[in-house]
Structure 1
Amino acid sequence: MTTQTPPSLLSLAIDSALLNLSHISDLSSLPDHILLDLFLVLSTACELAADQHGICKSSVTKGDGHRTLRAGKLNEKILKLFVATGKEEILFLVEALNIQHILTPVLPTNMSQASVVDNEIDIVIGALHSDLTSFMNEWRPVFSRFHLIIVQDPELKGQLKIPDGFNVSVYSKPDIDRVAGSSYSQLLFSGYSCRYFGYLISQKKYIITFDDDCLPAKDEKGNLIDPVAQHITNLATPATPFFFNTLYDPFRKGADFVRGYPFSLRSGVACAVSCGLWLNLADYDAPTQALRPGARNNRYVDAVMTVPARSMMPISGINMAFDRRVIGPAFFPGLRLAAKGKVRWETMEDIFCGMCAKVICDHLGMGVKTGLPYVWRKERGDAIESLRKEWEGVKLMEDVVPFFQSVKFSQTAVTAEDCMVEMAAAVKEQLGKSHNIFVSAAEAMLQWVSLWKNAPQV
């Protein structure tokens, strides 16, 4: 009977890094010997070259090299990561092995869309009113194909009125208490934040969410818009956050990459978030709406664009979709104002968590799209009354934006959960000094990650 030598901590760390190379954006901080080991393990040929040229051999076996080579780890993106470190040993091996950068022209752009089936999608609705009959009937042409998760505001009494003919799961305060605990249900899931419970318990790949004061819109030709189909198109086609295309989304029908767009970037990256827009009542804050009470958005702009990397934006849950499996934990009900109300002018939590999601997407090398699809927003709320409740949040945003512009994640943060844990520590340390509300937000972020990892099916 032969005994096997247990793996070293270094080999385990390298194995873990190999599995997550596609999510790493910078290797320059790694010590030279670890960086070289990581590069050598990508190919048995690299080890042979190291022998021939007197470079220290990797501790990883040739069998591992074959395994990782079969997994296709040494691709163009990974090669660029290593070359960008500027390490002499790495550059020497690339030259010795005659490893070439391959640029594959895309003329025209491959417009094929990943196949998405209806049962990969959950539509999540936060219910702030008990009678959803009119809302659901207006959406019937769109919603009837999909599974819906409707979460009732814990403070809303009585049963919801939902017409027949929908595949719907309804959750209320007892369900939230059972999963999150009664001490957290009111803190995390009241008002529009109740929708986050739907994100938590969904088992689907894609989440699409609309406010219950939104209806299907029509395009400039008077045709009814299918927001679900457009969101899925946005998510299923690549995003281009690292170089702006002046014709907007090159993966839309009739568009392509413009002259001068680098061919090495034309494959794009995975799109994790799709932010739709709305007609009629624009998403102004309370001060703007109070000063411009008659302002309405009547412009239908037929465009989709990728938000550039390292650019901030106020992602809103009014009309949004995201890939739950890769970015879901970043959408959390964290920032709670003292006088928080129930209408959009009085809520800040989705803006705060949207910034979390954007910087996490940037770190993980994923994209965010905005533009189509549109919905129609009805009138709701009193801007003057909301101004009193939201003013604290308006002031806090002046501190929040610089924080998100400067936040950095470690190279070991390779999932949204990892990033959220690091973000919570940074929020508490950097923002918590100025206002105690951020200390509470940091605690809520950690609670959310714990719930996300352990939430059972309901």
Structure 2
Amino acid sequence: MSHSIKDDEVDIVIAALHSDLTSLLNEWRPVFSRFHIIIVMDPDLKEDLEIPEGFNVDVFTKSDIDRVVGSSSTIFSGYSCRYFGFLVSRKKYIVSIDDDCMPAKDNQGFIVDIVAQHIANLTTPATPFFFNTLYDPFRKGADFVRGYPFSLRTGVTCALSCGLWLNLADYDAPTQALKGGQRNSRYVDAVLTVPARAMMPVSGINIAFNRELVGPALFPAFRLAKEGKLRWETVEDIWSGMCAKVICDHLGLGVKSGLPYVWRTERGNAIDSLKKEWEGVKLMEEVVPFFESVRFNRASVKAEDCVVEMAKQVKEQLGQSDPVFTRAADAMVEWVRLWKAVGTSSAVPEG
């Protein structure tokens, strides 16, 4: 791998909602076979996993989750089980996909190596404080444009890499319902740094991050039940992503978006999705201005410190408008507690 990253510095985390992973892993074999893989089963999945030979895999089931995190295990249901993989990993870099993501092909018909591209994003500087109109200036064949301040050309460390999807793009339920036949076939060969203080929706389906720098900032705070229904089931990673973005801004870290792509094969029913996410869609109008206003104490120099500080602001500024925010704030503090506790747990895979 390029950029002096060793294979044993990377974990592939796969959230498994389906039992037969044979086709998935065989499709990814050219890319994933060199790396340690953490597969986290949705606690509601009853069947045993079918995994082909030839992979270095650790599988975590509901009983494993219960043993490691105890009463907090309910937050790891559905595709939120991916966050448990983030929790127990011991590697510097994590690449995360869901089990309905297949390899995409680039404009020349070659399989996209998402690990190599994500690691390239994370190991080359980001430029959040001044936008380069040629996108990533550190990519081969590109550079800084005329007028870009020389004092900012060294860039900063990139902590989060957000990949995209081909076939089924990341649309919300209303857009899915109105444009049910729409497919994304545009492979845009570009990476850009998201500017500082700019919010963005993040999907946990195809991301990579430096776990040492921002691992505690990626958490399932909105995996909260109310009246037996999950209010933010399809919007929870957007909340998590905005938390991570404002923390990266505070810590002087970069976030990139663009390459690499995956091929998304499953989206679910738009009407069912709308029922699950509608409360979150409405609350988003309050959430975005809040994140735009978040500021941290200069003494908060680690992601986990920022999460705790942000939880207090969530409770104070948003908690009065809806109790779900108070519960989210409590979950954020609980996540930091888990992050610190599981860090010394013997239940963690060695790879």
Pick the TM interval, shorter chain: over 0.9
Does 2:25 align with 1:136? yes
SS in 2 for 1:453: helix
2:49 matched residue in structure 1: 160
Does 2:302 align with 1:415? yes
1:295 matched residue in structure 2: 182
Runs of 4+ in 1 over 4 A off after TM superposition: none
Instruction: State which of 238, 245, 254 in structure 1 corresponds to 2:125.
Output: 238
8 A Cα contact 1:216 1:375, kept in partner: yes
2:234 matched residue in structure 1: 347
> How large is the RMSD of aligned CA atoms in angstroms?
1.2
Counterparts of residues 163-174 of structure 1 (less than 5 Å):
163-174=52-63
2:105 matched residue in structure 1: 218
Does 2:221 align with 1:331? no
Percent identity between the two aligned chains: 72
Counterparts of residues 42-441 of structure 1 (less than 5 Å):
114-181=3-70, 183-186=71-74, 188-336=75-223, 338=226, 339-340=229-230, 346-441=233-328
Query: What is the CA distance between 1:175 and its match in structure 2?
Result: 1.0
Cα distance in 1, alignment partners of residues 42 and 173 from structure 2 = 23
Query: What is the CA distance between 1:457 and its match in structure 2?
Result: 3.6
8 A Cα contact 1:336 1:437, kept in partner: no
- Which segment drifts farther, 372-381 or 353-362? 372-381
Determine which structure has greater relative contact order: mean sequence separation of CA pairs < 8 Å that are 6+ residues apart, divided by chain length.
2
8 A Cα contact 1:206 1:321, kept in partner: yes
Query: What is the CA distance between 1:346 and its match in structure 2?
Result: 4.5
Query: What is the CA distance between 1:224 and its match in structure 2?
Result: 1.1
Q: Deviations over 1:185-235 (max 9, x none)?
A: 01x100011011110011100000011111000011111110110000000
8 A Cα contact 2:76 2:223, kept in partner: no
1:451 matched residue in structure 2: 338
8 A Cα contact 2:248 2:254, kept in partner: yes
Query: What is the CA distance between 1:295 and its match in structure 2?
Result: 1.3
SS in 2 for 1:184: helix
Q: Deviations over 1:139-158 (max 9, x none)?
A: 11111010000000111113
- Which segment drifts farther, 378-387 or 390-399? 378-387
Indicate the structure (1 or 2) with the bigger Cα radius of gyration.
Answer: 1
Cα distance in 1, alignment partners of residues 341 and 69 from structure 2 = 10
SS in 2 for 1:253: coil
SS in 2 for 1:422: helix
Cα distance in 2, alignment partners of residues 388 and 442 from structure 1 = 24
Q: Deviations over 1:256-304 (max 9, x none)?
A: 1111111111000000000000101010110111111111111000000
TM-score (norm 1): 0.73
Count matched residues: 341
Cα distance in 2, alignment partners of residues 349 and 233 from structure 1 = 27
Structure number with the higher helix fraction is 1
* Distance of aligned partners of 1:253 and 1:457 in 2 relative to their CA distance in 1, 3 Å threshold: farther
SS in 1 for 2:169: coil
Cα distance in 1, alignment partners of residues 325 and 222 from structure 2 = 7
Query: What is the CA distance between 1:178 and its match in structure 2?
Result: 1.1
SS in 2 for 1:123: strand
Query: What is the CA distance between 1:347 and its match in structure 2?
Result: 1.3
What are structure 2's unaligned runs of at least 5 residues? Answer: none
Cα distance in 2, alignment partners of residues 443 and 173 from structure 1 = 23
What are structure 1's unaligned runs of at least 5 residues? Answer: 1-112
8 A Cα contact 1:346 1:390, kept in partner: yes
Query: What is the CA distance between 1:114 and its match in structure 2?
Result: 4.1
8 A Cα contact 1:201 1:457, kept in partner: no
Query: What is the CA distance between 1:255 and its match in structure 2?
Result: 0.4
8 A Cα contact 1:286 1:346, kept in partner: no
Cα distance in 1, alignment partners of residues 259 and 301 from structure 2 = 30
Query: What is the CA distance between 1:454 and its match in structure 2?
Result: 1.1
